[in-house]
Structure 1
């Protein structure tokens, strides 16, 4: 399923023309992405220009275009990187959970970590605040929520083995997708209100996950 989603997304967005195979090329791409992330943090992705990325990365514009045919491809690569990092974090946090208290603790910590990332990373805020206007990024966010939901379902099956699997999958997907919406809302208001919104989300989500 994820393979089909990825293939579909590849057709909808300008992806890097070629993947770096040599160490030198990989290092160059890392410099390009780091430069783009810094520029997005300073001025937002809408204002970022390919020439600026190349200049800050210390590469020619032709070299930049070899790997990233346009600005959307750079934004996509950064979004994909954050998605992979978050999935690895969630998988590691949930894989050994075996009881309700463990789930409450792990889920609460994950939400706090994710919220902290949104607060600390201007690039993440910029990328995900624009997901509703970009079909490919919406698809990536949904695929991310589905992957994270599977991690949760694996825990729920251990905790509530008699519960209907479809019901668990539905609840888990809703929990993660609502979490994305809550984060966007929380960072759009003042910090005190944002903290309250995140705390309320954790209580609501855990009530559904633990009590069913």
Structure 2
């Protein structure tokens, strides 16, 4: 009597899981090589060696070094997005000053987690080629900020929440990144207070 075969989707599941695990393995190896060698010395062969696979196996999952670099940046952006979204959503019911300070503290925690990797992304990766990889992160955070401003519009000086959210997200992101990378003679607590004051002055009504 012929042995029954499992449904096709059940046969594919282990293979898909293995494929996803290999992708993660290669992306992790790619980040390690980028951190150790820098962008100029980043090659597919180095990534393959780091991942413990052959170059041929590498090309089964990624077309070239740019594809794996994009995946490295995407994963970094997704991790930031998850962390910041969690902070924002956990404090949406708080008064404006508490929400702003909590969000800024969360942003600083995320950026300071791996400063040298952040420096590599900002200073070495060609912005024209990889700059748009952070667009999804900015859009997701911007949508949350815009929704908050819309809900609290009667208690703020904001007239166009989407416009204000776009400006706030990019201004705060730029200042926070530069603070982390330049490491000025300003305490983090003072920096967060000053940045929070700027944000609140922009969105809150004049007293």
1:124 aligns with 2:118: yes
Q: Which residue of 2 aligns with 1:137?
A: 130
Inter-CA distance 139–194: structure 2 relative to 1 (3 Å threshold):
farther
Partners of 1:155 and 1:129 in 2: CA distance: 32
CA contact (8 A) 1:157 1:163 kept: no
Partners of 1:67 and 1:109 in 2: CA distance: 39
Aligned residue among 83, 93, 99 for 1:98? 93
Q: How many pairs were matched up?
A: 190
Aligned residue among 176, 190, 201 for 1:183? 176
Q: TM-score, normalised by structure 1?
A: 0.74
Instruction: Within 5 Å, give how 1:184-199 maps onto structure 2.
Output: 184-190=177-183, 192-193=185-186, 195=188, 196-199=190-193
Q: TM-score, normalised by structure 2?
A: 0.76
Cα RMSD for the two superposed structures: 2.8
Deviations along 1:126-169, whole A, 9 cap, x unmatched? Answer: 123346x3224322334432321110111122222487986221
Partners of 1:130 and 1:183 in 2: CA distance: 18
Inter-CA distance 143–22: structure 2 relative to 1 (3 Å threshold):
closer
Aligned residue among 96, 109, 114 for 2:102? 109
Gaps of 5+ in 2: 1-13
Inter-CA distance 199–137: structure 2 relative to 1 (3 Å threshold):
farther
